[in-house]
Homo-oligomer: A and B are copies of this chain.
């Protein structure tokens, strides 16, 4: 353990025996998340250097004491949840302490009249959702990683679930927030449905990836489980026809929970899972949730919009199949990466409607010679949508795997910059996007982020080296 003198003992005094470890196995377990580059590095014999120790606090007071100690001793603190991030945000670039939230995973309080639940950050999404469902409630947040990711991770990365078109991104679900800043200051923002009491400090901490401290509690907004789900499946001649329809859906004021359009290559893959979409075309899946009459009227309108854009309406049971399998991918995405030569990743970006088709064509054209490139549109907004690309190259040359992986990222990020999109929709920044964030935020945006980082983390100990601020 190469921590500054007294840090390990100080942590031990705070959390007690058994809740801090310098054991190599414990450290290795939190050395990285599911960032594909870390997995490629590992299979090529370059394992990610682990933190110097792991601490598992169980109370807010312990978290405060840990940050005070680490700030005073200039020791990095890197939060770790379930380890299923895909951008390397939890890698302890400069060693120090991995703060694992697994022992802070309680549901603290229900306000069922308001539809509020107060939770600790380490709770798994699926455990929270299950507890909600027992009360006839739902968070409405369904990332494909729901079974293997934490609420703290959702908040830290500004996660977006698969039904966000109706329920919003995690940001929209946060009513109250309790944060411990990097130097131990406690911030308590009580749950409210809405407030105009100054700038939105709750939002400031969302997406901070541990860079300002740790979110120690959140009060989240819940919805009643919808009375009815009305499904629609359609097959468009091509992806661009489907984009036009998705745009009309959103601009005409519909808000289906599920809005998902696969490009022809992705449709061909989905066909085998979902039983529709064989042959050519772009498969669209939609589902409207809510009160029976409204959900059905919305599904009728959705169907009408699809038809207007030339789609063939197909068997909507594909939507039920999709729902039943919607968490199947999350925890399996890394399983092919140990295979030599394999290059795999997903990159989610977004753009306004006017640039979305161009962005799709650009990425597809530049990479499909060397990789399988699948794409689906999801997460509709009135002014644009997310494009979710999946890249796969199996059985390639191990020597060129990493260069190909890095070229894949730089190609997509360059396409986004050229076409006027954003580099990230919902996987966060971490290390994967650190080289590209300056292009997105510009000098002034980076200067703003740098100043806020210094203000909230004066000793630079909160997940240091991220966001490309101080590499």
Residues of A within 8 A of B (CB): 111, 113-116, 157-160, 169, 171, 175, 179, 181, 185-201, 203-209, 221-224, 226-227, 247, 251-255, 289-291, 293-294, 296-298, 300-301, 350-355, 379, 381-386, 420-429, 433, 437, 440-442, 444-445, 447-449, 451-452, 454-456, 467
Contact = CB atoms under 8 A, between A and B. Distances in A.
25 contacts: A114-B352, A115-B383, A171-B200, A187-B444, A188-B445, A189-B441, A190-B420, A192-B352, A192-B384, A193-B383, A194-B425, A195-B423, A196-B426, A196-B427, A197-B423, A198-B208, A198-B449, A199-B449, A200-B204, A201-B441, A203-B203, A253-B291, A452-B452, A452-B456, A455-B455
Contacts of A115: 251, 353, 382-383
Contacts of A423: 195, 197
Contacts of A185: 444, 447-448
A158 B221 CA distance: 21
B158 A200 contact: yes
A252 B454 CA distance: 44
B199 A383 contact: no
A207 B203 contact: no
Contacts of A171: 200
Contacts of A354: 111, 113-114
A351 B196 contact: no
A133 to B, nearest CB: 15
Contacts of A199: 158, 203-208, 449, 452
A108 to B, nearest CB: 16
Nearest to A189: B445
Contacts of A379: 194
B175 A352 contact: yes
Given A189-B445, A253-B224, A383 B456 contact: no
A290 B187 contact: no
For A192, A221, A291, A381, which residue has the most chain B Cβ atoms within 10 angstroms? A192
Contacts of A449: 198-199, 201
Given A111-B352, A291-B301, A429-B198, A456 B445 contact: no
A197 B456 contact: no
Contact of A224 (B224, B251, B297, B300): B251
Contacts of A456: 448, 451-452
A428 B116 CA distance: 25
A388 to B, nearest CB: 12
Contacts of A451: 455-456
